[in-house]
Structure 1
Amino acid sequence: MDLVETLEGGVATLRLNRPEAANALSLAMFDGLIEAIPRLGRDPNVRAIVITGTGRAFCAGGDVKAMQGRTGTLEERYDELQRKHGSILALSQCPKVTIAAINGAAAGAGLVLALACDLRIATQSARFVTSFANVGFAGDFGGSFFLSRLVGPLKAQELYLLSEKIDAQEALRIGLLTRVVPDEAFSDEIARLATRMASGPTAAYRYMKRNFEIARAGTLPEVLAAEAQHQIRLTQTADHAEAVAAFREKRAPVFTGA
């Protein structure tokens, strides 16, 4: 299977599973992501989502070999690409915390897949490249949107135009990554972080994500109105009540996502 899904302890893991092709994105992967992400977002048993790769790479991006056999009219190919874009849209709109566990190289659309996640944790040995210019493309899957917001528009344009590889420490420095972890500690750190997110106040996380989405394009009055609305809604949740009780009782809260 090109996309392997597992669920353990409230953490759903979607593993890109084409190690022989550096996990280049296949049609089956796109279909799997488009189906799985909204479903996992609705599933009350899922409290956090991890996306990672099998083998030494996270994702090499589009399957360049498959590009040679394109068929169909320009309109048909446009519609097909827009359908594939649904995977990124679903990921960016997912109400659950999403973690890109970047176990190796991330390039092109594979890099964008990581950028669309809430948190990006990479191994020390990971490498990153926009790669689109290298194959005569301008870029797709929303990379210009995500990268501009993470590293700034000038740096994002530089990364696209020069298409130079950067290492994990440079990616961290410019704001592309959340953190970098030694290769030997990577699996443990991902498990620890995913468990922390899954055991946290997931309703609050959902509204945090919505607040920041509004903040990216909204005005201050719009942000204040959204924050007030979400904050008042959260006062009615069991998680808020539990947090208050735990504070009074001087113990750690036990959140259920309710």
Structure 2
Amino acid sequence: MEEQQSTPPTLHVEDAIATIRLNRPAQANRIEPEDQQTLIEHCQLLAKSPRVRAVILTGTGKHFSAGADLTTLLESTEESPGTELVVNPFAAMVSAVEHLPQPVICALNGGIYGGATDLALACDLRLGTPAVKMFMPAARLGLHYYLDGMRRYVSRLGFNTAKRLFLFAENLDAEQMLATGFIDRIVPADQLQDAAREAALTAASMAPLAVQGMKAALNDLAQERLDPQKFALRESQCLRSDDIREGVKAWKEKRTPLFEGR
């Protein structure tokens, strides 16, 4: 049997859709330190791209991701024992995904564990197969989760569900993940990638200034960090844009609008 290739996350762009793929199937797509930096670099590239209007995040093989490699995190703390505060570098990678201006669709092709659960929560839409399941083992491992991740859990899933997952390490199957809001829809495995692309194409067809402005506002509202002045500027930019004129004109003419993001 041919050995599966193990690489950092890959990035593929086709038309207005970008796909980021976790690509270490032999390790259940465990996210290594170099993977974290690669994913941040992919996000930096996409954030500057006027061409890309939606992003799909998925994994290779039967798992979405087993989360972070905690061995390297422990090694980094041992190298600087005199430092009072330790920064978990995984947090910066997840924040890079959350802060992408484009809508991000997470196609959960399999099991999702540990820090990878937060990576999925940083996305804007989560689709999962009937076999998907999740587990947050932080307390069992002695790990205190980082602040932004706990905020995402509370804002996306609610206070009580976050407590169940962090303090009692409950395992959730696909139906339970759907009930808690961890996934938005269950999709047959053979239709997952098509469903993710369909959602991405829908998002890409919207007015990018409006979509990106509202995404930023919704994320800020969820974490109680909304700047009213920035919000007002984004709203005003859309009201003065060519896109809103095109949108209203297309609506009246009963045709598909052609948005240019300006």
Q: Is the 8 A contact 2:243 2:260 kept in 1?
A: yes
Structure 1 pair 141–58 and aligned structure 2 pair: CA distance change class (3 A)? farther
1:252 aligns with 256
1:72 to 75, 79, 96: 79
CA RMSD of aligned residues (A): 2.4
Instruction: Say which SS state the counterpart of residue 15 (structure 1) adopts.
Output: strand
Q: Give the structure 1 partner of residue 132 of structure 2.
A: 126
How much does 1:59 deviate? 0.8
1:13 match:
19
Aligned residue for 1:152? Answer: 158
Query: Could you tell me how far 1:242 is from its partner in structure 2?
Result: 1.2
Secondary structure in structure 1 of the residue aligned to 2:79: coil
Q: How many residues align?
A: 255
Find out whether 1:97 has 2:103 as its counterpart. yes
Cα 1:108–1:217 shift into 2, 3 Å? closer
Question: Shift of the alpha carbon at 1:69?
Answer: 5.7
CA deviation map 1:77-112 (0-9, x unaligned): 965x44442212222222111111111111111111
Aligned to 2:51: 45
Residues 33, 87 of structure 1: 8 Å contact kept = yes
TM-score, structure 2 length as denominator?
0.88
Equivalence map 1:80-95=2 (5 Å): 81-95=87-101
User: Contact 1:201/1:239 (CA < 8 Å) preserved in 2?
Assistant: yes
**Contact 1:112 1:141 (C-alpha < 8 Å) held by counterparts:** no
Q: Given that residues 147 and 176 in structure 1 are in contact (C-alpha distance below 8 angstroms), is that contact kept between their aligned partners in structure 2?
A: no
The whole-number CA distance in structure 1 between the counterparts of 2:185 and 2:211 is 19
* Residue identity in the other structure for 2:81: L
Percent identity over the alignment?
30
Counterpart amino acid of 2:258? V
Distance of aligned partners of 1:76 and 1:101 in 2 relative to their CA distance in 1, 3 Å threshold: farther
Contact 1:112/1:142 (CA < 8 Å) preserved in 2? no
Q: Which runs of 5+ in 1 are unaligned?
A: none
Are 2:105 and 2:126, in contact at CA under 8 Å, matched by a contact in 1?
A: yes
Q: What SS is found at the alignment partner of 1:74?
A: coil
CA contact (8 A) 2:53 2:102 kept: yes
The question of whether the paired residues in 1 share the 8 Å contact of 2:243 and 2:259 is answered with yes
Other-structure match for 1:197? 203
Report whether the alignment pairs 1:137 with 2:170: no
Query: What is the CA-CA distance between 1:29 and the residue it aligns to?
Result: 0.8
Q: 1:217 to 1:110 in 2, by over 3 A?
A: closer
**Does the aligned pair in 2 maintain the 1:199–1:256 contact within 8 Å?**
no
Distance 1:174 1:168 in 2: 10
Task: Kindly indicate whether the alpha-carbon contact (under 8 Å) linking 2:59 and 2:108 is maintained by their aligned counterparts in 1.
Answer: yes
The answer to whether 1:232 aligns with 2:239 is: no
- 8 Å CA contact retained: 1:128, 1:166: yes
TM-score under structure 1 length normalisation: 0.89
Match of 2:63 in 1: 57
